[in-house]
Chains A and B, each alone.
Chain A
């Protein structure tokens, strides 16, 4: 009972606070300080309420309310965790960043209120995506994320940022509209055998009865869904909006887009692939996901190699990592899926750190051009450490968290018989490695441009980044048992539609000192 109340408030709190923020502008009675306080209340409330809801999932398997329209299972809990934690840390970072933008005249006072109002709204729409159980509301929420964040992308109102915002809204609304068709097809088929239309619209009910769905329609629906929500998730070749929006948005917004939004869309793709796996056979969605995963990795690595803009490199890195996640899902089986879900968490933390760090660099150098960013280590030594940690984590070097999940995805692939495909992907990951190392070597070292002032940015902005760095390191060495429980249950849901599964196929907590559960059990020593 308590948990359902928390779930409802989790959605209400950011929505109301967003409206409060906007109404302050309308009433013309605000100070920047007041708006910031409301913002902190909002992100803190979301963080606390999300943790309580996740506790509910750990206690009782799932939390559902409002006639099951809202439903948080372990799978949703993982994504909820990402939205809440990254939302909070990036939200804190935002305060200093936006203040600086006002100081240097990039933003006007009045735009600050727009920024925070939209930030809260954006947070609400993403929370709705991960908690929705009604498949059409899932679509509505995804569409709303675009609408909520389009102005955030274009907030600077320069030519390139307006262009990026326009491309973002047009490509995403057109793409996501395909998702609506996929959703309607599934619903209209489910309504044939589920007596109550109110039931045929619920993901949980459709999954239970997936075998009764028409296989041809289901396959067609999945293609629509993948094009639609895949556009939003940044899957190649539907990613065209992503590098522009990620690079032109204010850095905290880039962090939210890359670390949170892409995953929300991915969750919807996963939800539909579960229906399809249960209804037709797992092979069909897996083959498609494998293909798109490999394509995304290949394309992103090549694009990354030719970029000179630090944020565009990071943007393509997001495409690459989303590719890795769907590669893991495509490999399938408990090992592949668990590794993919873990990678979702890991990538989010690292990418949030990286975009915020790029924000620090942008504040110092006023440019994103790697040809002009030189000698960070002399200008802002701590930022340069954050950058190096982020890059090392991103390319998958131990002891950081991404090493565990990347390693596990590849080893799951090999143990499932995709050896050559994994080798092929590794070749392109090597290109990513080179591009990333070049990013460090060119920016961290080198001759400091004339007239640069030495000195770190504000400490309040560094704290959330330090927290992110610690999380990245800790998750590389030790995964808390609660997260393992969520991952195990979420994997079971993805495989069977229900959180209880044959536990022997999943990872166990025994006999380990948890160096990420001995690299997620080293795929049982690659047994085929």
Chain B
């Protein structure tokens, strides 16, 4: 198996893990699965670093390992700890529906990416398509999940998708750029989690469907 195949198949693994993150009921498990997925992302970064001889990607892998494999799952885990399972809302749509939507997203992403004329990533088209699809999976998660913390995980999935796109298309960008994006991502998760706790404290629910007092 060539390096290209390895990278493309690892990207496939991202899809699998993200579906598991979305469909798992227990938040604790979801957070853990997200960590697993981020580890796959780290492996992809390492493989890309070797294949494209892009040394800066080793740094990306290291920072992603710290922030995404360790820190983000830990933040989610800590946040859900204070919230009882009983008060967690159910799914907004049935798993089958979100699976079908995910499949459609994947197909559309492949079609769109295959149309693009991107010299830089001709060999990585499947990985690129997956990264774009992954970004939309995150959005799908935000739209279909009523649990606010699941929506935070949706944001994380979205972020993993765009991170991979960035690694494929802009791995040679100055290091500071990646640091900026990673900082935004980690602060995003942190701030959203604090907001979730504030909402839980004053509303005693994690259900997005109960956040409907503002209209018009």
Residues of A within 8 A of B (CB): 134, 136-137, 139-140, 143-144, 147, 150-151, 154, 157-160, 162-167, 169-170, 173-174, 177, 180-181, 184-185, 187-189, 191-192, 197-198, 201, 214, 216-217, 220, 243-244, 247-248, 303, 306-307, 312
Contacts and interface: CB of A to CB of B under 8 A. Distances in A.
Given A181-B135, A184-B165, A216-B116, 16 more contacts: A136-B181, A140-B183, A143-B188, A144-B187, A151-B191, A151-B194, A154-B195, A180-B162, A180-B181, A184-B162, A189-B118, A201-B177, A217-B117, A248-B214, A306-B216, A307-B216
Interface string B175-216: 011001101100110011011001100110000100111101
Contacts of B165: 181, 184
Best-buried of A160, A197, A248, A312 by chain B (most CB within 10 Å): A197
B123 to A, nearest CB: 14
A201 B174 contact: yes
Interface of B: 116-121, 132, 135, 139, 142, 148, 151, 155, 158-159, 162, 165-166, 169-170, 172-174, 176-177, 180-181, 183-184, 187-188, 191-192, 194-195, 198-199, 202-203, 208, 211-214, 216
Given A147-B191, A170-B142, A184-B166, A162 B216 contact: no
Contacts of B212: 163
22 contacts: A136-B177, A137-B180, A147-B188, A151-B195, A154-B195, A154-B198, A162-B198, A165-B195, A167-B211, A177-B158, A180-B162, A181-B132, A184-B162, A185-B169, A188-B170, A191-B120, A197-B172, A197-B173, A198-B174, A201-B177, A243-B214, A244-B214
Contact of A187 (B173, B187, B214): B173
A177 B162 contact: yes
A312 B216 contact: yes
Contacts of B191: 147, 150-151, 169
B202 A173 contact: no
Contacts, number: 126
A159 B213 contact: yes
B193 to A, nearest CB: 11
What is the interface of chain B mostly: helix, strand, loop, or mixed?
helix
Best-buried of B148, B191, B212 by chain A (most CB within 10 Å): B191
Contacts of A198: 174
A189 B135 CA distance: 20
A177 B195 CA distance: 20
Contacts of A173: 155, 188
Contacts of B118: 188-189, 217
A179 B78 CA distance: 31
Contact of B174 (A147, A160, A197): A197
Given A159-B213, A163-B211, A169-B195, A192 B120 contact: yes
Nearest to A216: B117
Contacts of B213: 159-160, 163
A166 B181 contact: no
A134 B158 CA distance: 23
Contacts of B162: 177, 180-181, 184
Nearest to B177: A136
A140 B169 contact: no
A140 B180 contact: yes
B202 A191 contact: no
B180 A136 contact: yes
Contacts of A140: 177, 180-181, 183-184
A191 B181 CA distance: 19
Contacts of B192: 169-170
Given A144-B184, A181-B165, A214-B117, A201 B173 contact: yes
B216 A164 contact: no
User: Which 4 A/B pairs are nearest by Cβ-Cβ distance?
Assistant: A188-B169, A140-B180, A197-B172, A163-B211
Nearest to B212: A163
A130 B118 CA distance: 30
Nearest to A66: B176
B148 A166 contact: yes
Contact of A134 (B119, B135, B177): B177
Contacts of B117: 214, 216-217
A217 B112 CA distance: 12
Given A163-B214, A165-B195, A217-B116, A147 B184 contact: yes
A67 to B, nearest CB: 9
Contact of B119 (A147, A150, A192, A248): A192
Contacts of B183: 140
Contacts of B121: 188
A243 B212 CA distance: 14
Contacts of A184: 162, 165-166, 169-170
Nearest to B192: A169
A220 B118 CA distance: 13
Nearest to B165: A184
Contacts of A143: 184, 188
Nearest to A141: B180
A131 to B, nearest CB: 14
B102 to A, nearest CB: 17
A71 to B, nearest CB: 15
Contact of A243 (B166, B173, B216): B216
A159 B198 CA distance: 10
A162 B204 CA distance: 13
Contact of B214 (A160, A303, A307): A160
Contacts of B198: 154, 157, 162
